[in-house]
Structure 1
Amino acid sequence: MSDHDWQAPGGAPAPGPAPDAARSARFDPSAFPPPSVEASPSALPAPAAPTSPMYGQVPYGSPLGWTPPPKPGLLPLHPLGFGTVLWAPFKVLRRNPAATFGTGLVVQLVSVVAMLAVFIPFMVFVVSRVESATDSADADALMSGAIGGFLLLMLVPIALSLIAGAFLQGVMVVEVASGTLGERLRFAALWKRAAKRFWPLLGWTAMVTGAIVVAFAFFIAIIVVATFFDPVTVIVTILVMILAGLGAAVVAAWLGTKLSLVPSVIVLEGVGIGTAMKRSWRLTDGFFWRTFGTLLLVGFILNLAAQVVVQPVSLIGTIVAAIIDPTGTGAAIAITVVTMIVTVILSLLIGAITAVVQAALVAVIYIDLRMRTEALDLELVRHIEQRDAGLPVTDPYAAPSTATAPASTAAGPAWP
């Protein structure tokens, strides 16, 4: 019995549609019209063109098309690990040895030649005057004057060393910055770029040296004044000065670490000494121990390497001379002279390497801290991609307040 055959007891059958008609109405094909397949292509919505380039692409519609990925530079373009920061300065020497080591060697030669040129004639003059003195009183007066003249002449090589050291800092900062962008500059190009910021660098180096000289002079003056009193006062003064010296060393290490990035800021951001000091102070906030530990560890490695290389040569020369001439008759004078010459040459080479690595380390730390605090790595990636695509670029190392200036307002890229 179907549902339509049922009726209430005593009632008439309920009217209803026939089964076929109801099924046809339930599945009416007209309720589901087929999709149209003759729609015009022009009626379909066109895909929207991208309004800005995606990361790692040239702008939409650029005729340049695909560009190869940038070649790896001196530093990876992301915040650096401790090992990378530690060994990157040594990589500077291996990557561009002619320009970097050559500059360091020139600086060392300038210092040595200046010292020899000043002191050798002076010593010859003093010795000839002492030998021609008629009595011991004149000789003593000449020796006293010679000590004063020696101290005054020390200012000449110190001044030249300051000038050469400031210039070396600028050269190494430019080398690290350009090497990170994948560039390899020659000797003359490095010197030309570093010379643009030479005077602020020299001013900063003179300030640091002056502060050190004043501090030493203050301690020495107090000790000299104390010698005019009784021995107990002298001993107490010396003990107090030792403790004060330890405290001053701690303060100097703290200030030196906080202001260690000043040369890099002066060269790469093109600011004055005062602004560079503030920038260095802010960049090292939260990274003091990392910066201090890196500077200390690299300095220890360089000092240890210098001792390992130079001291054995000097020791071997002394032993050989003692074996050949145990009584000191002068038979081993040639060996002594050769040992001294070899020691001086090794000291020059090690000094050049040390100066280059220490100056480059400061620049590496500066770039790493800007990557961590100011996303400099993204700016460097963008700069490299736009440069390789032939697009206009701005200075990627500019300070954050000026780094976003539009390229059309500048006469040309600040970092060629």
Structure 2
Amino acid sequence: MNDSPGWAVPGPSPSDGERPGASDGRDGTDGAPSQPQQPAGGQKWSAEQPPPGEWSSPGAPQAPKPPQPQPQPQPGAGWGSYGGPQGPQGGGYGYPGGPGQWGKPPAAKPGVIPLRPLDLGEILDGAVATVRSHWRSVLPITLVVATVVQVISVLVQKYALAGVAVTPEPGADLQDVLDTLGGAMTALVADGFIQLIGTIITTAMVTMIFSRAVLGQGSTIGQAWREARPRLLHLLGLTLLMGLGGAALVAVLLLPGILLRNIGLGLVGGFAALPLVLWLGIKFSLASPALMLEKAGVVTSLRRSSRLVQGSWWRIFGITALTGLITTFVSAVIVYPLTALGLAIGLADSGVGGLENGTAATGWAPLILAAVGAVIAQTITMPIQAGVTVLLYVDQRIRREALDLELARAAGLENYGSDPAAPPTGG
């Protein structure tokens, strides 16, 4: 899929509202209507010509034309029809949702989305449809990665965090407390890094599966791995760069309040950092699919994302935020009941004192039940989140770079975009 011409880095993109195929002056006309050729000998045609079939000799008197009857509208033409006297092909103002009327124009749909600019419902539906139709490739990837990550997380919480008490014991030495907290922080950082690696692998492979699903093509787990493997280090570098850049930005804005020991100044810096980090996060949210599908470098993918998001920040923010709310709700519905059940089992074993020393939450039953819930939730939500990002990238390129023409060609659709009246045919 990476070698498909549909994902190649485009040249100068057409301006808004401009579609390829319009006259650009390559035939020598510069978009102007062609002028009639002058006959030999310098003789010129008359500026006003009679209609075809009514040519007469020069100077002959013209017979008066009989009155022409007005064409009668065909049954079903006019309002609510496609092809009446006033519509896009002679049709009237059709019903909402009719072809080429108030609704969306007809478009080819070789895969999970139609090849035209998408709305919110089509993006979410495309992500869910891909998971549903390609579940043999998508769900095993997310299931294996989520299982491995949660097994490591359970072991870390059981053996590295079980000794960390919620409240320190009275008379405990400060150095012992710091050592315990340092070990716990090290374990948490290692656990977070493992989760980061799992997320990167899942995102990379799911991106390749979605890119083929847009064209109506299937993808096996082996194919997705072979296509994603050369880009994993680049994706890791991109993720670390964005994370470290956001952390550095927050630290810089909080630093004046910390140095001056001024709580008010620190709060101002924190409140200024949050919207700035959010703005940058959405601005570079399409860098991951650009890096994977265009084989771009880290810096180039950041520039591509910035260019694609420009002018559509609020729209992409809204779709991303809504997707996050939906996946968070689904995860909560799955995880919280199992976590509560595990905590109840832990309290039954350790009693109320288990809440104070932390043993109620670090027993095997609470940890395993919470991990099972997390595995199920991540298996379902991770591909949907990654898929929405990929489809947003495809949508922005369709809007700005006419990517639908390249995708139609890669999907084997003939006559797509050449004649609006002719439906595309399979190649």
Q: TM-score, normalised by structure 1?
A: 0.62
**2:387 corresponds to:** 360
**1:158 corresponds to:** 192
Secondary structure of the structure 1 residue equivalent to 2:331: helix
Secondary structure of the structure 1 residue equivalent to 2:380: helix
CA distance in 2, matches of 1:321, 1:210: 38
The answer as to 2:133 corresponding to 1:106 is no
Give the direction of change, closer, same or farther, for the CA distance of 1:162–1:316 in structure 2 (3 Å limit): closer
Give the direction of change, closer, same or farther, for the CA distance of 1:101–1:253 in structure 2 (3 Å limit): same
How far is the alpha carbon of 1:213 from its aligned partner? 3.5
Counterpart of 1:355, as a letter, is M
CA distance in 2, matches of 1:123, 1:302: 28
| 8 A contact 1:162–1:206 mirrored in 2 | no
| 8 A contact 1:261–1:362 mirrored in 2 | yes
Counterpart of 2:243, as a letter, is T
Identity %: 27
How far is the alpha carbon of 1:214 from its aligned partner? 3.1
Counterpart of 1:257, as a letter, is I
CA distance in 2, matches of 1:185, 1:358: 19
1:47-100: CA deviation from partner (whole Å, max 9, x where unpaired):
xxxxxxxxxxxxxxxxxxxxxxx9731221222122101332222221212322
| 8 A contact 2:257–2:269 mirrored in 1 | no
Counterpart of 2:380, as a letter, is I
Structure index of larger Rg: 1
The answer as to 2:220 corresponding to 1:193 is no
How far is the alpha carbon of 1:313 from its aligned partner? 4.3
| 8 A contact 1:108–1:348 mirrored in 2 | yes
| 8 A contact 2:246–2:277 mirrored in 1 | no
CA distance in 1, matches of 2:161, 2:369: 23
How far is the alpha carbon of 1:195 from its aligned partner? 0.8
**1:299 corresponds to:** 324
How far is the alpha carbon of 1:290 from its aligned partner? 1.1
CA distance in 2, matches of 1:377, 1:173: 18
Secondary structure of the structure 1 residue equivalent to 2:412: helix
Q: Where do 1:159-308 residues align within 5 Å?
A: 159-215=193-249, 217=251, 237-308=262-333
**2:36 corresponds to:** none
Give the direction of change, closer, same or farther, for the CA distance of 1:246–1:101 in structure 2 (3 Å limit): farther
CA distance in 2, matches of 1:158, 1:119: 12
Secondary structure of the structure 1 residue equivalent to 2:411: helix
Secondary structure of the structure 1 residue equivalent to 2:139: helix
Consecutive unaligned residues of structure 2, counting only runs of 5 or more, are: 1-107, 355-359, 415-427
The answer as to 2:114 corresponding to 1:80 is no
| 8 A contact 1:110–1:160 mirrored in 2 | no
**1:92 corresponds to:** 130
Secondary structure of the structure 2 residue equivalent to 1:250: helix
Give the direction of change, closer, same or farther, for the CA distance of 1:74–1:125 in structure 2 (3 Å limit): same
Give the direction of change, closer, same or farther, for the CA distance of 1:327–1:274 in structure 2 (3 Å limit): closer
Q: When the two structures are aligned, how many residues end up with a matched partner?
A: 299
Give the direction of change, closer, same or farther, for the CA distance of 1:150–1:213 in structure 2 (3 Å limit): farther
Secondary structure of the structure 2 residue equivalent to 1:76: coil
| 8 A contact 2:327–2:381 mirrored in 1 | yes
1:259-288: CA deviation from partner (whole Å, max 9, x where unpaired):
111011111111111111111111112211
| 8 A contact 1:167–1:201 mirrored in 2 | no
The answer as to 2:180 corresponding to 1:146 is yes
Counterpart of 1:189, as a letter, is Q
Higher helix share: 1
Consecutive unaligned residues of structure 1, counting only runs of 5 or more, are: 1-69, 227-233, 389-416
Secondary structure of the structure 2 residue equivalent to 1:109: helix
Counterpart of 1:354, as a letter, is T
How far is the alpha carbon of 1:258 from its aligned partner? 1.3
